[in-house]
């Protein structure tokens, strides 16, 4: 039986706990979430009927600061998944040294089936339902799968209306006009690019000559595809929910991104040279760098043996399961783990939060410089530890992230 995302998250804690020699009582504590709220969201639909949706907001740990993490809208969302995603946010913020904890939210809904007005009503009702556990010093949501700056604007407005004043710091990833930060939208892709470049340098690999395959073309997959394409790399395949396009000579990513940004599916893109393949076929393509940038549980014990690349760059959260991790490690494939690789998003979210609190906004140049500094510092720590102890980059990242949280708990003590 395949493990659920939260079972995987717990297993990863066990692996790190064993390596650190962590107190079993602490490990037991870290495998629980601090709080989880399940809410019912009734929405008046445009045709007058009422639909009921279920939503969640979970805090895994706020021991190092307010909770932080996105909100996703997807028909697959459930409490187990949100608990895992909240846990991964704890490690991500800890690894980067941000004074934030781990949280996540989600609504079980297919947003493509809702009109814009229905989506707004759903977002505002969801925000009202979770209003007591979010806030600039409690928990700060952000975009995730199928949510964007507009959704954040509705959350910020709903929260502010209820509190009687504008509180931009309640969410990050907002539109720039209402307190958002420049550079937040492409931040996850930028972070991916920085760590990939750094790993290639360590391994004496020339990034420009690499063959690249990308799963996903949303905010994360699309941005990294564009950055690599502009760098002159050959992106051989890219996918969306409709399927994947493949061309061994390299796709014209700029044109494909224009297409997907119009809300069109890749399967409908017309170019005789391109072959339409499935997601499974995409993952099994022979390439140098594979970038899963869609959902969790994509590379499992079932298909890990078929993976034919040198480096996996995790744009998504949790795309590789622990069993697959072991197989990939034995095959000598380097995995740049999610909690490091895709941490650029939350890093610039942190900058946005700081700018909102101070009401003083930075230039793009400063954002990108500070992002690069923070993510490369974490990369360096992870890389050195993995080399020193001959462990995977993921295990090294977990050792650092989990140790920091454990230390914070020890210092604060268990209340009362």
* C-alpha to C-alpha distance for 56 and 83, rounded to whole angstroms: 9
Of the candidates 81, 120, 144, 240, which one interacts with ligand GLU according to CB under 6 A? 144
Residue 220: left if φ>0, alpha if ψ -120 to 50, beta else—which one? alpha
Report the sign of the C-alpha dihedral through residues 128, 134, 136, 137, in that order: positive
Binding mask 124-143 for ligand GLU (x = CB under 6 A): ------------------x-
Of the candidates 10, 57, 68, 234, which one interacts with ligand GLU according to CB under 6 A? 68
Residue in 68, 104, 234, 372 annotated catalytic: 104
104 catalytic? Reply is: yes
Residue with tokens 């991790």: 325
| Least distance in angstroms from the C-beta of 281 to ligand GLU | 27
Candidates 68-76, 117-125, 251-259, 318-326: pick the segment binding ligand GLU (CB under 6 A). 68-76
Beta-carbon contacts of 271 under 8 Å, excluding residues fewer than 6 positions away, are 245, 247, 252
- Could you give the strand order of the β-sheet that contains 275-277, starting from the edge strand earlier in sequence? 275-277, 243-246, 234-240, 211-215, 289-292, 311-313, 334-336
Beta-carbon contacts of 357 under 8 Å, excluding residues fewer than 6 positions away, are 136, 169
The structure tokens listed for 244 are: 């994947």
Of the candidates 349, 355, 368, 392, which one interacts with ligand GLU according to CB under 6 A? 349
Residue 70 touches ligand GLU, criterion: CB under 6 A: yes
Binding mask 278-317 for ligand GLU (x = CB under 6 A): ---------------------------------------x
| Least distance in angstroms from the C-beta of 33 to ligand GLU | 16
Report the sign of the C-alpha dihedral through residues 191, 195, 200, 201, in that order: positive
Binding mask 240-279 for ligand GLU (x = CB under 6 A): ----------------------------------------
Q: Of the two residues 342 and 395, which places its CB atom closer to ligand GLU in the complex?
A: 342
| Least distance in angstroms from the C-beta of 68 to ligand GLU | 5
Question: What are the Cα distances from residue 36, in Å, to 77, 111, 409?
Answer: 14, 23, 20
- Among 103, 89, 94, CA closest to 58: 103
Q: Of the two residues 172 and 223, which places its CB atom closer to ligand GLU in the complex?
A: 172
Number of residues that bind ligand GLU (CB under 6 A): 11
| Least distance in angstroms from the C-beta of 76 to ligand GLU | 15
Binding mask 82-111 for ligand GLU (x = CB under 6 A): ------------------------------
| Least distance in angstroms from the C-beta of 131 to ligand GLU | 18
**Residues within window 40-59 making contact with ligand GLU, judged by CB under 6 A:** none
Binding mask 318-337 for ligand GLU (x = CB under 6 A): --------------------
Residue 5 touches ligand GLU, criterion: CB under 6 A: no
Residue 341 touches ligand GLU, criterion: CB under 6 A: no
Residues forming contacts to ligand GLU in the complex (CB under 6 A) are 68-70, 142, 144, 172, 317, 342, 345-346, 349
Q: What positions carry a catalytic annotation?
A: 104
């Amino acid at each position: 039986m395949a493990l659920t995302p939260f079972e995987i998250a717990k297993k990863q804690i066990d692996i790190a706990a064993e390596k650190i020699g962590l107190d079993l009582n602490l490990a037991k504590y870290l495998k629980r979430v601090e709080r989880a709220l399940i809410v019912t969201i009734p929405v008046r639909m445009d045709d007058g009927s009422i639909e009921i949706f279920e939503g969640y907001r979970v805090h895994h740990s706020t021991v190092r600061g307010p909770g932080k993490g996105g909100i996703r809208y997807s028909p697959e969302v459930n409490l187990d998944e949100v608990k895992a995603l909240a846990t991964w946010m704890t490690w991500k913020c800890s690894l980067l040294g941000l004074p934030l904890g781990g949280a996540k939210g989600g609504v079980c809904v297919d947003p493509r089936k809702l009109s814009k007005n229905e989506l707004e009503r759903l977002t505002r009702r969801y925000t009202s339902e979770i209003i007591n556990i979010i806030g600039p010093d409690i928990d700060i949501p952000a975009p995730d799968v199928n949510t964007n700056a507009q959704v954040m604007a509705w959350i910020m407005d709903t929260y502010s209306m209820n509190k009687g004043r504008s509180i931009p710091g309640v969410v990050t990833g907002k539109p720039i006009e209402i307190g958002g930060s420049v550079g937040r939208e492409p931040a996850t892709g930028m972070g991916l690019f920085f760590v990939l470049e750094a790993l290639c340098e360590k391994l004496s690999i020339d990034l420009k000559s690499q063959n690249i395959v990308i799963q996903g073309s949303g905010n994360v997959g699309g941005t990294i595809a564009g950055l690599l394409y502009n760098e002159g790399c050959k992106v051989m395949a890219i996918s969306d929910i409709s399927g994947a396009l493949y061309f061994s000579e390299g796709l014209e990513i700029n044109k494909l991104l224009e297409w997907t940004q119009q809300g069109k599916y890749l399967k409908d893109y017309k170019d005789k040279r391109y072959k339409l393949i499935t997601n499974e076929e995409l993952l099994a393509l022979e390439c140098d760098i594979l970038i899963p940038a869609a959902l969790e549980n994509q590379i499992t014990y079932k298909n890990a043996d078929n993976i034919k690349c040198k480096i996996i760059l995790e744009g998504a959260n949790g795309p590789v399961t622990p069993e697959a991790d072991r197989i990939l490690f034995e095959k000598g494939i380097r995995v740049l783990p999610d909690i490091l690789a895709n941490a650029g998003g939350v890093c610039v979210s942190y900058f946005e939060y700081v700018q909102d609190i101070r009401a003083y906004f930075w230039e793009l140049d400063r954002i990108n410089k500070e992002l690069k500094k923070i993510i490369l510092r974490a990369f360096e720590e992870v890389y050195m530890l993995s080399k020193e102890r001959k462990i995977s980059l993921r295990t090294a990242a977990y050792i650092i992230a989990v140790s920091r949280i454990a230390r914070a708990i020890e210092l604060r003590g268990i209340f009362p």
